[in-house]
Amino acid sequence: MTGQLHEECGVFGIFDKDAGTASSTCYGLYALQHRGQESCGIAVCDDGIMRCEKDMGLVSEVFDSERVASLGSAQMAVGHVRYSTTGGNEQSNIQPLCIRHIKGNMALVHNGNLVNAAELRSQFELSGAIFHCTTDSEAIAYAIVRERINCGSTEEAIARAMKELKGAYSCIVMTATKLIAFRDPFGLRPLCIGQKENGAYVFVSESCALDAVRARLLRDVEPGEIVTVSEDGLSSIKLPKKKRSVCIFEYIYFARPDSVIEGVSVHHSRIKAGRILAKNSPVEADVVIGVPDSGIDAALGYAEESGIPYGMGFIKNKYIGRSFIEPTQAERADKVRIKLSVIKETVAGKRVVMIDDSIVRGTTSARIIRLLREAGAKEVHVRITAPPFLHSCYFGTDIDSEENLISSRLHRTEAVAKEIGADSLAFFPNEKLCELAGEGFCDGCFSGNYPLDVSGAGRKDKFDKKIHES
């Protein structure tokens, strides 16, 4: 799926007595770049002194060797890559958020989205708080600081604050002496723990970032768990957890295929999705192709199960960063053509099965299908590894409002197929999602059944509306 859905961010944290944490964090952020391409940042703690570097752009654009070296030697660091869901792509919204309060310094990185952020922010503002950015992450930081003033430890403050936070949050907090990771009671967003050979501990959104710093996966941070790393080692506090509800779209699209989430290989999950599609929605065809990147594994599974040969249908231009400019409508319409090139020899004169992870508005799918027909494809049969998007997401996925979702607007699969120009179209069956991730996942964007009340969630830009919209 090209250029439509985005996930809010990726987080990284490391406690390493041998120092070198800034460079390790940079490597980890490279591995998590797929989770956010708008901005990135790193904060380090050297014996209680915190330094932070952050800016708009990709990791490679923000952190050259000199900027990483400027952070110096430190035994703790946290890092963040961001795509905005709540709060715009402004300089003030770049994480880590670094907070100075009466009991010390704190840096926070957050992945997810709160549904009661506006309510919390209003409470804080009425008590005199001043907010500097438009993200709900700042509300989390304020909630922790408010509790920290009245209790004996940051862990206790986090435990108290978590009772007030509603929604998705996988966070890492760095204090003067500790690195603390915590996850919402539903476990909506992933977060795991790794360890290096020298004993250093690492917290990451996805296990693929552990490989980047030569750490091994220990386990996931459990829903409702607070895990602390300090000079004394690793410790944990477990709060009451709800029914596990990890985002199913992590397996379908967001996560890198070499990651393992909740004990499930993302690569194997996508292979299985392709196999299930081949069984449920067979079609006579000459070649199976996948839309890069997440459609490729599923295409392999579809080909293996159906017996139809797999072929490389597209080359993806990986060198177009977020600075790619499309000044006119004509150039914006050609963005797919610039990002994807069809290998004509694979599809010309053939009946093609095209595997993709999702259809959101339908415009990108239509353009990709048009590219295949221009390359000589005789038929294009589309198979999607997700059910139809019918509802918005409130937990950190940039899924559009329902009136803009093509499946919600047109209702019938045949109508969607006609609008995008496919000869046939089939979506992944809702009832088979458990075969991709096991039990305990959130599929609210497909089913409308959310693990918690989302009635007060509001708009994504709820903190920066125009006057006439207030």
Catalytic residues: 9
Q: How far apart are CA 73 and CA 339, in angstroms?
A: 39
Residues 372-383 as b/e (b if ≥16 CB within 10 A, e otherwise) read beebebebbbbb
State both tokens at 353: 């099965």
Backbone angles phi, psi at 3, to 5 degrees: 70, 30
Q: How many CA atoms lie within 13 A of 403 on its CB side?
A: 0
Q: Angle at Cα 189 formed by Cα 183 and Cα 195, nearest 5°?
A: 65
Best CA proximity match to 214, nearest among 230, 199, 195: 195
Q: How far apart are CA 309 and CA 358, in angstroms?
A: 22
Counting other chains too, the contacts that 330-334 makes at CB distance below 8 Å and 24 or more residues apart are 333/367
Q: How far apart are CA 52 and CA 70, in angstroms?
A: 10
By CB neighbour count within 10 A (0-12 exposed, 13-18 middle, 19+ buried), where does 202 fall?
A: buried
Which 3 state secondary structure label does DSSP give 93? helix
Numbers of helices and strands, H then E, in the chain: 18, 23
Which 3 state secondary structure label does DSSP give 232? coil
Q: How far apart are CA 370 and CA 273, in angstroms?
A: 25
Could you please report the per-residue DSSP string of 445-457?
HHHS--SS--TT-
Which 3 state secondary structure label does DSSP give 216? strand
Distances (CA, A) of 372 to 20, 173, 274, 313, 380: 48, 47, 20, 9, 8
Q: How far apart are CA 455 and CA 444, in angstroms?
A: 13
Q: Is the Cβ–Cβ distance between 206 and 189 less than 8 Å?
A: no
Provide the terminal-to-terminal Cα distance of the chain, rounded to the nearest Å: 35
* Sequence-separated (6 or more) residues with CB below 8 Å from residue 32: 10, 11, 12, 81, 204, 205, 206, 208, 209
